[in-house]
Structure 1
């Protein structure tokens, strides 16, 4: 268990000031079906890396996109990526750029799953889809699968790993960016950093949780990773921004994992916001976090 703090590069500070100014003009971020197209346009700005092939596919009947470095084979080990968007937004196609930046560095094919979105498909639809796809990939690769996700997707992969059936092997590793692990929003940073985070606020997260949970218990371990079985947790790397309201989700997860004696390294990046690794063209911190992701995954594979 360890928490590593990263200072903010001067260039990144200037970039973040510009980003905050732009987002201040565009208004607050909403998590609702009408925002899906805008969210996909934003996420898809991450450039698809050279040397990467992308194509649609299915795993256990679940649709998604394969993002594969040339010459790699799923049977030798793969990564299942679960996108963010509060369980309401996001698509595998839009996340190809981010997945490609990970895949080219880690040298592994990635399947980005198009799990069923809320409110049309409420809890536990996303959890069930990710669980089904993971079980199939684990079988195909002989257990050589890593799980990755950002925001709600990060919370989902942690829950899937810790609630999996005994017959299903553990992931070799998990990497999550800015994971949303507590839909009850009990972390102090939800209030403490509410005036600092330019992307998320309590209302937007409350809206996402309401649409996905549809009245279900926010402490159910299939959606709240803090309540899951930490004895089943494989090695984890977390990257989180120091200026985001979900910071305490990562820090609380780190603390509970430490009490359970599990291997978790949490990287807190000063000045960064929610899922900052998507901004690889603009932020030095993004490239450093992606490089760290690859190093961690290579060690665990």
Structure 2
């Protein structure tokens, strides 16, 4: 196993230590309610509030509670955001300041989706919530829509991009997937090399998948695992940002290759020296801050369907 203590820099080690003060490496051994309690406490510790010019309001889209972030300046598009948390933890508050900073950095309104969590609402409930909200956002807003999400949320917005083909065309100008779990081959690549990475392990992933699946076999359903689709044509320009020390890293490479092989445009960037969930480290790690700036750049470019100028 890699010696992560030596491979991570001091700032990333400090981020991990602060994370584990609230959310221990063996958190999946807790009850779901206790997992949510410690996860929420961790997210609250990292919350930095809103930039001065950003406000937010909760409202429903398609019967699903969402949070709409906006600035006083005119809206130039919409980021449709799904949060991470393994489909088990997280919500509107867990990624609150992250979405506010996306709004401030891009000038776009950000609509964050409070989709149902497992085990109370296993698949396909989570996808159905995200899709219902997306349909309503398309009907009730104008202009470009950029899909974005981290981890489990990256899975959901990728699934929306696949499902939207032939149903809602012309609105999605791009997708930003942040260390997404897309249902790749767990017998190879980063799933093996970084099976026990800090921040997320293959064991953690198995726990989350068991709860999300509800004990059912969803093999081959791209709403559950977008990498298991048989058709990757017609997808919007896509940027996938992964972390070097993360079992999910290989999903980014595989998804980029699948889109490119189908004639589409996709960029995969692996962030060196970073771990899963480094969005929360953006104010305490130089590497994470650089990655966050790249996310802002990607969202801004994707509003007009561009990815060639991504640093």
Residue 297 and residue 37 in structure 1: after superposition, are their counterparts in 2 closer, same or farther (change >3 A)?
A: same
State how 1:245-284 maps to structure 2 within 5 Å: 245-284=247-286
Structure 1 residues 111 and 277, CA gap change in structure 2 (3 angstroms): same
Deviates more, 1:280-289 or 1:244-253: 280-289
Q: Measure, in 2, the Cα distance between the counterparts of 1:71 and 1:22.
A: 36
The answer as to 2:129 corresponding to 1:133 is no
Spell out, residue by residue over 1:271-297, the C-alpha distance to the aligned partner (whole angstroms, 9 max, x if none). Answer: 100021221111122222222222222
- Alignment correspondent of 1:146: 146
**Following TM superposition, by how much is the alpha carbon of 1:181 offset from its aligned partner in structure 2, in angstroms?**
0.5
**CA RMSD, 1 decimal:** 2.1
Worse-superposed segment, 212-221 or 234-243: 212-221
1:8 alignment counterpart: none
CA distance in 1, matches of 2:249, 2:176: 16
User: Please, which moves more after superposition, 37-46 or 203-212?
Assistant: 37-46
In structure 2, the partner of 1:30 is: 28
Give the stretch that moved more between structures: 102-111 or 252-261. 252-261
Deviation at 1:234, TM superposition (A): 0.3
2:175–2:239: 8 Å Cα contact kept in structure 1?
Answer: yes
Q: Where do 1:3-22 residues align within 5 Å?
A: 13-21=9-17
Distance 1:117 1:72, change over 3 A: farther
- Asked whether the 8 Å contact 1:85–1:151 carries over to 2, the reply is yes
Aligned residue for 1:176, secondary structure, equals strand
Superposed CA offset, 1:119-138 (max 9, x none): 11111011111111111112
Structure 1 residue aligned with 2:115: 115
Instruction: State the SS of the aligned residue for 2:227.
Output: helix
Give how far 1:299 is off.
Answer: 2.5
Map Cα deviations across residues 225-263 of structure 1 (whole Å, 9 max, x no partner).
112331131011111110111111111111212211221
Flag structure 2 segments of 5+ consecutive residues without an equivalent: 1-7, 304-311
Does 1 or 2 have the higher relative contact order (CA < 8 Å, sep 6+)?
A: 1
- For 2:306, the equivalent position in structure 1 comes to none
Query: 1-side partners of 2:180 and 2:63: how far apart?
Result: 26
Hey, what's the Cα distance between the residues in 2 that align with 1:126 and 1:210? 14
Q: Is the 8 A contact 2:144 2:172 kept in 1?
A: yes
Whole-angstrom distance in 2 between the partners of 1:58 and 1:102: 20
Relative to structure 1, the CA distance from residue 66 to residue 57 in structure 2 (aligned partners, 3 Å threshold; closer, same or farther) is same
Q: What is the aligned residue count?
A: 287
TM-score (norm 1): 0.88
- Output the CA distance in 2 between the equivalents of 1:135 and 1:36: 29
Query: What corresponds to 2:307 in structure 1?
Result: none
CA positional deviation for 1:157: 0.5
Matched residue, 2:236: 234
Query: What secondary structure is seen at the aligned counterpart in 2 of 1:270?
Result: strand
Secondary structure of the corresponding residue to residue 198 of structure 1: coil
CA contact (8 A) 1:82 1:156 kept: yes
Q: Deviations over 1:18-72 (max 9, x none)?
A: 3445667843242834311221222342323312112221112110212222334
In structure 2, relative to structure 1, the CA distance for the partners of 1:21 and 1:90 (3 Å cut) is closer
The equivalences for 1:207-246 within 5 A come to: 207-214=207-214, 215-228=216-229, 229-246=231-248
Gap runs ≥5 in structure 1: 1-11
Q: Secondary structure at the match of 1:35?
A: helix
